[in-house]
Structures are given as structure tokens and as C-alpha cells.
A and B are shown apart, each in its own frame.
Chain A
Amino acid sequence: MNRTAVLMVLLAAAALVVVVAPFVGMMHVPFSALWGAADDPTQIDVLWKLRIPRVCMALLAGTALATAGTAFQAMFRNPLATPFTLGVSSGASLGAAICIHLGWAFSVLRFSGISLFAFAGAMVSILLVYGLTRARGGSSTATMLLAGVAISFFFSSLILCLQYLSDFTRTFRMLRWVMGGLEGAVSFDEVLGVLPFVASGCLIVLYLTHEMNLITTGDELAASRGVALGRTKLVLFFAASLMVGAVVAVCGPIGFVGLMAPHICRLLIGPEHRYLTPAVMLFGGAFLTLCDTLARTVIAPTELPVGIITALLGGPFFLWLLLSRRSEF
């Protein structure tokens, strides 16, 4: 199958998932609820106030995480890089943990205090990584990677410290937050808050696909072919980190999508970023929407954290792809 066809199939699959997902769930909702014709007004509310915003959020989050994963894997030439490698999620988790520990419950412009603290934490970690990299002079990705990992560990132990010091309920809330999930994100306000970050981040990454191809071949070769390495890497770093920060602030650190979506798409469409990046965007969004739909239905009325589903479903799928395509890669 050629690459355009693969993209078309992914697009169709993503569209199907997005159209069907809002109508799946505990309560039956007829299609007509879309335009406000339903026997029971709660059906309209469930569709428009709960399910559609949640599907939108899952789509944005999946797209952002998968795209950022692709950007980081290209930038660090490391197949194990994830959107969280540079400590964005640890920063966000620390912010959320501080807010939970303090027991502050407030909201600004309908964003919860925890989300705002988490976003601030993510920004702090991004600025720290950037500052440390600059302090050592230049834009070495090795320094960036080490700074990110060090900050990650540092923040993680601060989180453990807070968990240890908090009472039982708060500790549980912190633990639950770190698992990630979309059950907290149920209004269009969050969707609209995250959208600008994800949209601009994705556009920037799409704009830099040629550069990502060249960076995969090595820094020197890329520079000699005309890539302004320092600037390109910095722009990629900020674009990817900001959208991940925004998503994590609302959904918590949802694992697996950012690591595996790029690999799965590489097996489907190859390593050329001009095709890989759009494929990853479609796949990541659709995959997380699918997983989230399962997360809220498999053991309804209880929800599973979506991070459990992403890995349970994605892991075997990835292994199957890897084994069935052995000859080509």
C-alpha cells in the first residue's frame, strides 16, 4: 500500500472513531440528539456537555502526545524518547501534587486550581531545561536530555516527599492524578484552553518535517545541508513541550501514546517525516479516543484510567506489527 493510501485509511479510521465514540456509553443516546431532538433532555446534555467535549479532548491529547513524541524521537535520535523525557510531566505532576497537598480548591476562568498548578509546573520544568542547556552554552541535545532526565528525577522525589507527608485521601488523589485520565476534563472550556497550544504546536512540527528528516541523519550532515540546527531544535523543543504541558495540565500524564504511536506509524508508513507526522497525528488522536471510550465503558459505571488501556491495547498491537513486518525493517 502506498503512503498516501495509508494516510487516507488512517483519516477514515480517525473520522469513524470520532463520529462513533460520542454515542457509545452507559446511556443510550440517539443520533438525533446532535440537533437537539431526543425523547429525554438528559440525552442531549450527556451528548453535548459530557461526551463530545471529552472526545474532543481525547483527540487533542492523543494528537499532541503522539506528535511531541515524534518530534523528540527525531530530535534526540533516540527511539525511547517520549513527550515526558524532558520532565514536562514531572513538573506538571509536582504542580498538581502541591495544589492537592495544600488542599486548595479554586478555579480561574473555569480552569481548576490543580490544572493551573500543573501547567505552571510544566512551564517551570521547560524553562529549567532550557536555562540549563543555555547555561552550558549552545543547544546540545545531549545536555538537554540529561537536564530533562535530572529534573524529572528531582521533581519525582519531591512528589514522593509530598505524598509521604500528606494524609491518606490527598495521597490517593495525587496517585490518581499521576495515572492520568480524561474523566476530569469534561467541558468545552478545557478543550478551548488546550486547543491553541496543540494547534500551534502541531503546525510548527508539520512545518519542520524536512528538518526532522535531516536531523535523523546526524547533526553534522543536517547542518551541512543547510539546517539551522540550534534554532530548529529550540523551536521543536518549545512547540512540543508547550502542547504537552497544556495537555498534561488537564489530563495528567497519559503514558504510552507518545512513545508508541510514532513507532506504530513508522511501521505503517515508514520513517519519512513528511508522511509520518500527519499519520502520527491522526493515529494518536484516534487511538486515545478509542482507548478513552473503552476506559469509560468496560467496567462502567466505574472508569479505568486511560493510561492502563493505552498500554494494554497498544502494547500487543505494536508487537504484532513488529513481528508481521519483520522482513521490511
Chain B
Amino acid sequence: MTVIRLQSFSFRLGDKPILRDVSFAVEKGEYLAIVGPNGAGKTTLIKCLDRLLTGGTGEIEICGRPLRKYSQKQLARLISYVPQADGRVVPFTVEQFVLMGRYPYLSPFSAVSHEDRRAVAEALQLTGTAEFAARLLGTLSGGERQKVYIAAALAQGAEIVLLDEPTTFLDYRHQAEVTALLGRIHRSAGVTIVAVTHDLNHAVLESDRIVALREGRVAFCGPPVEIMRPDVLRKIYGTSLLLVEHPQVGLPVIVPQAPAKGNR
């Protein structure tokens, strides 16, 4: 079943075209990575998918229904969004914050239901954030906070989770933990994941399929192995990248170029 379908979708910001004629589809339960150089339109694309940006041309369908036909709450029950880490200080505790993910199911004056409590407890459990449920969000490290944001998105109970650079600003340990967490959610909960990432290696190892954007156009769409070819990568990134074989899984991954000897 197709959960997201874009049909010649274009988006401009003022006079500047950001996305041009983008078409692709995401199947239920898929893990799709969106990659591309800076300014390619990755974040814009993911915001358009959750209607955080409006006004593009072309068609976006969510679960077979045009995006614009959903009410905000209906949409929130289908799609949740984990924004790029922005260091905003939010004055709530972890538990209060995750509970806010239940907003699309709450009515104005009613108390929090048993169902809501259960969803929050589950999300805290699954993300390993239950131990600091009572702490203020502002006192957490970047990695812990990212897990809490994912927990809130899970509590929202949506079958599609959009993530914007989920691991970019994290240290190695937290990168690994968040990556493992996303894999777990994807496999065990059957959630469809669409993640924007700068990290091609991460995309290749984790995702089922990759969409690469260049200057707002889809430059590549296909299985991870196929993007890892020098000519394809050069076309997308405009620079040559060094590929080696991953020692555990045999997939090609990128390693940084060593500086030329003469520059030493």
C-alpha cells in the first residue's frame, strides 16, 4: 500500500524554486532516506509532506487522499514529525512533553485517558527515556533530547514518522543509539520512516530505499547499493567520494579522503 505519493510536486519560496517536479512514492512499512547536498530542498520536502509548508503545486497524497483534504488533527494521527535539533528551551518535563504527542486524541476539558497514559508509557519504554521522565527537557543532553522527541512522535501513534537529520549533531554513542532505536521502531512497530540525512553511510546501512535531491530535483531514487557508485555520487554531490567495502555487511560506504601528501 502506498502511504505517500508525490506527483510532479514543485515548491517555491518567493521567486526561488526550491523543489521542482518531484515525484516518488513511499510504501507502507518502508524506511526511506532523503539525501542530497546542502540547499537541495530536503528539509523543505519533508516539511511539505507534513504540511508545515503550504502552497506548492502538483499533488501530494497521504494514504490515497490529497494532503490538503486532511484536518490538522486527522493528519497528526497519520504523520508525526521530529524536527532538526534546534536547542530551543522548552519548559516542560519529559513526560509532559511526550504526553503532548497525544494532542490529536485529546478533547479540551477531558482528563488524560488510560489509553493516553499507556501510549506515553510505551513510547518512553521503547525509546529508553523512562528513566528521566520526570526531568526537565532543558536539562537533557542533545542525544537524550533527540530520543525524547522520537518518543513524543511515537506517542502520537502515527504510522508515518518524518525525521529531519535525526543523528547529525550527536556523538558516536548517541548516533548508534538513535540509529538502533529507529531500526527497532521500523521493524517491530511497522512504522513507515522517512528520514532526511546528511550521512550517506547511515542511509545506506539503514534504509530500504534512497531518494537523492539535487537543486530541488530528484537526482536518484532506488535501492541503497545503486547510489554508492562513484559516477552517481559525483552527479549528486559534484565532488568525487572515496568508497570502500563495509567489513561487516559488504555494502560500499564512504570514507573521508586523506589530504594529498604535498599539503602536509
| B71 interfacial by beta-carbon distance below 8 Å | yes
Stretch among A35-43, A156-164, A209-217, A314-322 lining the B interface:
A209-217
Q: Which residues of B contact A209 (CB under 8 A)?
A: 108
The reply on A193 being an interface residue by CB < 8 A is no
A228 at the interface (CB under 8 A from B): yes
Neighbour of B73 across the interface among A226, A229, A271, CB < 8 A:
A226
In the complex, which residues 65-81 of chain B have their Cβ closer than 8 Å to any Cβ of chain A? Answer: 71-73, 75-77, 79-81
Q: How far is the CB of B78 from chain A (nearest CB, A)?
A: 10
- Interface presence of B100 (CB below 8 A): yes
CB of B176, distance to nearest CB on chain A (Å): 25
Min CB distance B150 to A, Å, is: 13
B39-56 Cβ-contact flags toward A at 8 Å (1 or 0): 000000001001110000
Q: B83 near A272 (CB under 8 angstroms)? A: no
Shortest CB-to-CB span from B14 to chain A, Å, is 12
- The yes or no answer to A145 lying at the interface (CB within 8 A) is no
Is B238 among interface residues, defined by CB-CB distance under 8 A?
no
CB atoms of A221 and B83 under 8 A apart: yes
In the bound complex, how far is the Cα of B76 from the Cα of A47, in angstroms?
55
Contact bitstring B185-201, A, C-beta under 8 A = 1, else 0:
00000000000000000
The reply to whether B75 and A226 form a contact with Cβ atoms under 8 Å apart is: yes
Contact between B81 and A224, CB atoms less than 8 A apart = yes
Chain B residue contacts of A226, Cβ below 8 A = 72-73, 75-77, 103-104
Q: Is the CB of A272 within 8 A of B81?
A: no
Q: Is the CB of A223 within 8 A of B51?
A: yes
B12-41 vs A, CB cutoff 8 Å, 1 = contact: the mask equals 000000000000000000000000000000
Q: Decide if A224 touches B91 in the complex (CB within 8 Å).
A: no
**B contact residues, range:** 20 to 34
Assembly CA distance A218 to B47 (angstroms):
14
Interface size on A, residues (CB 8 A): 23
**Residue on B nearest A213 in the bound complex, by CB:** B100
Say yes or no: B103 contacts A225, CB within 8 Å: yes
| A271, B92: Cβ atoms closer than 8 Å | yes
- A46 in the interface, Cβ–Cβ < 8 Å? no
Given A216-B90, A225-B104, A226-B76: A272 and B96 interface contact (C-beta under 8 Å): yes
Asked if B91 and A271 sit within 8 Å, CB to CB, the answer is: yes
Among A214, A221, A272, find the residue whose CB has the most chain B CB atoms closer than 10 A: A221
Q: Is the CB of B90 within 8 A of A224?
A: no
B172 at the interface (CB under 8 A from A): no
Q: By the criterion CB–CB under 8 Å, are B52 and A224 in contact?
A: yes
**Residues of B close to A206: CB separation below 8 A:** 109
Q: Are A210 and B72 in contact (CB under 8 A)?
A: no
* Contact in complex: B72, A228 (CB < 8 Å): yes
Q: Bound state CA distance, A226 and B71, in angstroms?
A: 8
Least distance between A244 CB and chain B CB atoms (Å): 22
Q: Is the CB of A220 within 8 A of B52?
A: yes
**Are B91 and A210 interface neighbours, CB within 8 A?**
no
Note all chain B residues with C-beta closer than 8 A to A271.
91-92
Chain B, Cβ-Cβ closest to A230: B72
B134 interface hit (Cβ, 8 Å)? no
A220–B47 touching, CB < 8 Å: yes
> Is the CB–CB distance between A220 and B83 below 8 Å?
yes
Residues in A neighbouring B72, C-beta threshold 8 A: 223, 226-229
Q: How far is the CA of A229 from the CA of B76 in the complex (A)?
A: 13
Minimum Cβ distance to chain A for residue B106 (Å): 6
Task: Give chain B's interface residues, CB within 8 Å of chain A.
Answer: 47, 50-52, 71-73, 75-77, 79-81, 83, 86, 88, 90-92, 96-97, 100-101, 103-104, 106, 108-109, 156
Give 19 pairs: A residue, B residue, CB < 8 Å, sorted on A: A208-B108, A210-B100, A210-B103, A213-B92, A214-B103, A218-B88, A218-B90, A220-B47, A220-B52, A221-B81, A223-B52, A224-B50, A224-B79, A226-B72, A226-B73, A229-B72, A266-B91, A272-B92, A272-B96
The 9 closest A-B pairs by CB, nearest first: A226-B76, A224-B81, A226-B104, A226-B73, A271-B91, A228-B72, A225-B103, A207-B108, A217-B90
Could you list which residues of chain A lie within 8 angstroms of chain B, going by C-beta atoms? 206-210, 213-214, 216-218, 220-221, 223-229, 266, 271-272, 329
